[in-house]
Chain A
């Protein structure tokens, strides 16, 4: 018997296809500019939506109408239908992604081609993508939790299956981290790494995901594993995309482009994720809010300590090579911009404003961690 059910494999692959497709699509827009509905990255994204939607729809349909009493009672109830919770998340996500398509089409005709990543139709698409990733995580989670609860029947086989399922959950979490990273990409690029905005958005979102993963997973180093997946995916795309030739098909062309422009070097989430895993060892001894404070502050302090000096390296000539790709710019990046001149933006007015901004980041971090812990506690108990 396969370590992971066909359904889990399908939705995890669907989530991976969407994540890779999104990174590819952003790179495409930075290098070529022009695309149609049927471009390869779009196909990767919609393939993920269709696979997740069809697989989930099938599972729900089968459970509701053809499943036995045992199967039905092992599912949740939504509008008279029955099925695993993850399947409902994935179906909803696929529905939202498909709904965003005509909305996005009208938006482009009314207001022109998007110049930013986030627009209302893209946010609807984003919610759909998030739901599919959460569905994948929940499906992996349920299989993981059932695995943990089952008596140790098959020995080695059971242990291997359990390991796969634990990993499947961390893998889905890593994909989820990547997706969130894309939504806040424009505020976390190099030029903002010495500004409070970068840390405010990062602390508003990442601690929640990492805390939830840390609490929900049965791995020894769950947050670190998820962050490792995020980093590995980011590096793979960073090194593989520039291998493909590309040239801008839209003007004005302000930078010379000969190959696909990759997204920037992934954020250094590994050290703060590791800190979260370490701090979670205190779980039993601290109240929820104190734990959230520890996780939130721990994330911010460690992230700041590594990302800030790393940003200096990314701005230096030593990083302008294929490994770190800091010499690759989108075709529309003006040579007079901060980024193209390897200068940091002055987002905050001065050191006092920066300190105030970082104080807010700390608040966001703690609240984010608290919400993540709540979600993690729920995830630990999910069985359907």
Chain B
């Protein structure tokens, strides 16, 4: 399994993605939930090329699992899915199962994982985007081999046509006369020209396929940010710009946990962090009243979900030190959203982050180092001022939220205890299935008292920062940690 994971990771790195995609730089989908009475942790590695193979790994926390089945559901097909495949037990691992699924079309897919145990069966739906995110060039050795073989074949073709014109029409033993030799030379000339034309046409055809593929490659919606003054408030304005990608629209966004957009602002230098929820003022514009963030340049990551379950993370930067946008006619500002939160917190390289009021958040780290590609459970314990275990309240329907950012900005994910999947995407697929169970209330799902946990697989080695947000006593607490991944 580890070998396969490393191989898959090596392949991902070799493919050198040329554009960002949902959950910037972190294409793997992680989901933790209950399949019937069994807790499962699902990791889906989508293909970088569509149609392509998705690798699915399932960890089922039970010892009586008889069978694990996997099925790809394509949203636009409205249900016509092939029969589920059986996942295979990973040799040497008691609770790990793995399988592969073909994702045949671009867009929103869901992987249905069914776990059958002695106690019964249950399933979970894991939304997976099927996007072409990489363009693989042909490596030099293969190109040289094919070019070499091609030359031999072309040369051989000319020689064979020549033999056919010159020798083949003669009775055995006779030699060709001048007439035949002339015909032979003409045939060689014509064949060479025809072959050259065929090769030229073939290369042009290849070029066209390549262009079409590049056109289909996923391009996220573009985001522009600016700030305007509205009285004594600062309002951030985000404008969407669709570069055009297949039939993706900007007009079909659906709320995820009641919000059309979740925006994260991370200050360069990483001391300031904000989690705000811009509201839509017109089809292409979102606005939010900014909390009192210090003047700095901020990286902005905005999560949105489309009606069919496809989730996108839009990125831009916002400079709060710059002069504000020209004052607009409107001096109104959107109301403050009580779910918006922000903090000035320096990520700690220790395991405990203390808060100003005396409370603390402790990262319950495993002794083993974090490894790229490996499924990890990030667990945090929150203590109230005074040392007693904190009593956590749901924050936007979840026990906790986390944001993970790699130093260079090439990886950003917004994770919940259920994993990297947006609830709105799961709801989209649930709508397709008549009589599906209503979406569960995940509020205190993965919190056991004062501990929250997030499943995640870091896509590549490097230095990361993790911000963890919980709600306690009506206030949002944000802890920040540094993490090195090998």
Q: Which residues from chain A sit less than 8 Å from chain B, CB to CB?
A: 33-34, 70, 73-79, 85, 88-89, 92, 95-96, 99, 102-103, 106, 109-113, 115, 119-120, 123, 247-254, 378, 381-384
B160 touches A85 (CB 8 A): yes
A77 touches B153 (CB 8 A): no
CB distance from A74 to the nearest CB of B (A): 4
Which listed residue (B82, B149, B205) contacts A248, Cβ 8 A? B82
- Complex Cα gap A249–B104 (Å): 11
Which listed residue (A34, A95, A252, A253) contacts B153, Cβ 8 A? A95
Q: Specify which chain A residues have a CB less than 8 angstroms from the CB of B150 in the assembled complex.
A: 99
A109 touches B49 (CB 8 A): yes
Q: Is B209 an interface residue (CB 8 A)?
A: yes
Q: Specify which chain B residues have a CB less than 8 angstroms from the CB of A119 in the assembled complex.
A: 209
CB distance from A197 to the nearest CB of B (A): 19
A253-B142 contact in complex given A113-B51, A384-B167, C-beta closer than 8 Å: no
Q: Specify which chain B residues have a CB less than 8 angstroms from the CB of A33 in the assembled complex.
A: 82, 102, 104
Q: Which of B146-184 contact A (CB under 8 A)?
A: 146, 149-150, 152-153, 156-157, 159-160, 162-173
A252-B172 contact in complex given A110-B136, A120-B202, C-beta closer than 8 Å: no
CB distance from A289 to the nearest CB of B (A): 19
A111 touches B168 (CB 8 A): no
A382-B76 contact in complex given A85-B163, A102-B146, C-beta closer than 8 Å: no
**Which of A95, A99, A110, A119 has its CB near the most chain B CB atoms (within 10 A)?**
A110
Q: Is B105 an interface residue (CB 8 A)?
A: yes
- Complex Cα gap A109–B137 (Å): 10
Q: Specify which chain B residues have a CB less than 8 angstroms from the CB of A96 in the assembled complex.
A: 153
- Complex Cα gap A115–B83 (Å): 21
Which listed residue (B73, B156, B165) contacts A79, Cβ 8 A? B156
State the total of A-B contacts with C-beta under 8 angstroms: 131
Q: Which residues from chain B sit less than 8 Å from chain A, CB to CB?
A: 49-52, 72-74, 76-77, 80-83, 85, 102, 104-105, 132, 135-138, 142, 145-146, 149-150, 152-153, 156-157, 159-160, 162-173, 202, 205-206, 209-210, 213
B169 touches A378 (CB 8 A): yes
A109-B136 contact in complex given A249-B82, A252-B81, C-beta closer than 8 Å: yes
B105 touches A252 (CB 8 A): yes
**Which of A79, A103, A106, A252 has its CB near the most chain B CB atoms (within 10 A)?**
A252
CB distance from B83 to the nearest CB of A (A): 6
Nearest opposing residue in chain B for A135, CB measure: B160
Q: Specify which chain A residues have a CB less than 8 angstroms from the CB of B81 in the assembled complex.
A: 251-253
Q: Specify which chain A residues have a CB less than 8 angstroms from the CB of B135 in the assembled complex.
A: 110
Q: Specify which chain B residues have a CB less than 8 angstroms from the CB of A383 in the assembled complex.
A: 168-172
Nearest opposing residue in chain A for B11, CB measure: A109
- Complex Cα gap A337–B213 (Å): 24
A251-B74 contact in complex given A102-B145, A113-B104, C-beta closer than 8 Å: yes
29 CB < 8 A contacts A-B: A33-B104, A34-B102, A76-B163, A76-B166, A78-B159, A78-B162, A78-B163, A88-B163, A92-B157, A95-B149, A95-B156, A99-B153, A106-B142, A109-B49, A109-B136, A110-B137, A112-B50, A112-B51, A112-B132, A113-B102, A119-B209, A120-B202, A120-B205, A251-B81, A252-B74, A252-B80, A252-B81, A383-B168, A384-B170
Nearest opposing residue in chain B for A96, CB measure: B153
- Complex Cα gap A99–B150 (Å): 8
B49 touches A112 (CB 8 A): yes
A120 touches B153 (CB 8 A): no
A79 touches B142 (CB 8 A): no
- Complex Cα gap A110–B136 (Å): 5
A250-B167 contact in complex given A78-B160, A99-B146, C-beta closer than 8 Å: no
A73 touches B105 (CB 8 A): no
List of 4 A-B pairs having minimum Cβ-Cβ separation, nearest first: A252-B77, A76-B167, A74-B172, A76-B163
Which listed residue (B82, B146, B166, B167) contacts A247, Cβ 8 A? B82
CB distance from A291 to the nearest CB of B (A): 21
Q: Specify which chain B residues have a CB less than 8 angstroms from the CB of A79 in the assembled complex.
A: 156, 159
A384 touches B153 (CB 8 A): no
Q: Specify which chain A residues have a CB less than 8 angstroms from the CB of B76 in the assembled complex.
A: 252
CB distance from B133 to the nearest CB of A (A): 12
A88 touches B50 (CB 8 A): no
A384 touches B172 (CB 8 A): yes
Q: Specify which chain B residues have a CB less than 8 angstroms from the CB of A110 in the assembled complex.
A: 49, 135-138, 213
- Complex Cα gap A102–B139 (Å): 12
Nearest opposing residue in chain B for A99, CB measure: B149
Q: Specify which chain B residues have a CB less than 8 angstroms from the CB of A381 in the assembled complex.
A: 169
- Complex Cα gap A365–B153 (Å): 30
- Complex Cα gap A75–B157 (Å): 17
Q: Specify which chain A residues have a CB less than 8 angstroms from the CB of B169 in the assembled complex.
A: 378, 381-384
Q: Specify which chain A residues have a CB less than 8 angstroms from the CB of B164 in the assembled complex.
A: 76, 85, 378, 382
Q: Specify which chain B residues have a CB less than 8 angstroms from the CB of A254 in the assembled complex.
A: 77, 80
Which listed residue (A75, A103, A250) contacts B104, Cβ 8 A? A250
- Complex Cα gap A89–B150 (Å): 16
- Complex Cα gap A381–B152 (Å): 28
A251 touches B80 (CB 8 A): yes
A251 touches B73 (CB 8 A): yes
